[in-house]
Amino acid sequence: MNIFLLIIGLATLIVGGDFLVKGAVGIARKFKVSTLVIGMTVVSFGTSAPELIVSIKAALDGNPEIAIGNVIGSNIANIALVLAVTIMIFPIAVDRNSKIIDWPMMMFSSLIFYFFALNNELEFYEGVIMFVILLIFIGFLVYNSRKASKKVEAAIETEGVEVIENTHFTYSLLYILGGLIALYFGAEWLLDGAVGLAENLGMEKRVIGITIVAFGTSVPELVTSAVAAFRKQTDISIGNLVGSNIFNIMAVIGITSMVKEIDINDVALQFDMIWMLGIAVILLPLMLFGKKMGWTKGILLLGAYVTYIVILLLSV
């Protein structure tokens, strides 16, 4: 029964996130908001909605280990699994913004997350600080993006969001409503299944959060990136996955800690977060050396992910 809840919960989260993005993009276009701005804000929020809903629900239900594990695990998976699989299918050229804007911001987000967690607790004011920094960063991106008019459509296409130009406003609202309902029930079923499975197997909730829940909430990014790479859509940039990591920390953790203070255990602080920081650091030289990220670098990243999961499971 727990496995069934996990599967149905994951499927519902994926559908809910997709509906939310389509509806939000439709409304944004209705009000003449540029597609680049939509990609930077609405689409980023939509694709991270599963992480956000799951983390808030987990924190409110008294399962902070899953809330923290979900974000840490998703951030590790986005780089060491999703990006690895993507560049193994088709090499990706690293654009300049990914090196000088996206990566430094991801590293800063990861470090501030770690710094705030050092006292084993994330408090309301720390969540406010992270979320405000994110808003300032988005404002900077929107301002800076006006100089990059040639890439206006890239952000939407990268996320694989299909939008009909003349989508009726009512349909967009229905997509959003349906997406929110699906996200709510998907999070409920996923968490019930994850907690039940952890209890039955005698596993720590932290481990379930980092593995099953984190992988589940990263499935949309994995499927979209892999399919797009297979189709040789070279407009996919590393910056999109790096941006997802920034949003996971500054928005998901930020908002969740504003809703309810989150306790962080020593193992997550001294092991999981160190791996998250390490993966982020390793990404920089892989981006800097060589014109593209391809098969060899993908193997290195995937090897790091497999190593982390093996050590994690052996430590249980």
Q: Which of 272, 246, 275, 229 is nearest to 84 (CA)?
A: 229
Do the beta carbons of residue 129 and residue 257 sit within 8 Å?
no
Reported as type and span, the H/E element at residue 293 is: strand 292-293
For residue 263, the SS3 value is strand
Own/partner pairs, 227-236, CB within 8 angstroms, 24+ separation: 227/160, 228/86, 228/158, 228/160, 229/86, 229/87, 229/89, 229/90, 229/92, 230/89, 230/90, 232/90, 233/157, 233/158, 234/90, 234/92, 234/93, 235/151, 235/154, 235/157, 235/158, 236/86, 236/92, 236/158
Domain count, the chain: 1
Work out the angle at residue 264's Cα, subtended by the Cα atoms of residues 262 and 268, and round it to the nearest 5 degrees.
140
Backbone angles phi, psi at 93, to 5 degrees: -75, 135
Within 10 Å of residue 2's Cβ, how many Cβ atoms? 16
pLDDT of residue 164: 47
Tens of pLDDT, residue by residue, the chain (316 residues)? 788 888 888 788 778 777 876 777 677 667 665 544 555 566 666 667 777 888 888 888 888 888 898 899 999 998 999 899 888 888 888 877 778 888 999 999 999 999 999 999 999 999 999 999 999 998 887 777 655 544 444 544 444 555 445 557 788 888 888 887 887 788 778 778 877 877 787 777 788 888 877 877 776 667 656 665 666 654 555 766 788 889 899 999 999 999 999 999 899 999 999 999 999 999 999 999 887 888 999 999 999 999 999 999 888 6
Helices then strands, counting H and E runs in the chain, come out as 17, 4
pTM: 0.78
**Cα gap 135→10, rounded to integer Å:** 29
Domain with 153 in it: 2-314
What secondary structure letter does DSSP report for 150?
A: G
- What region does 122 belong to: left with phi over 0, alpha with psi -120 to 50, or beta? beta
Domain CATH code at residue 296: 1.20.1420.30
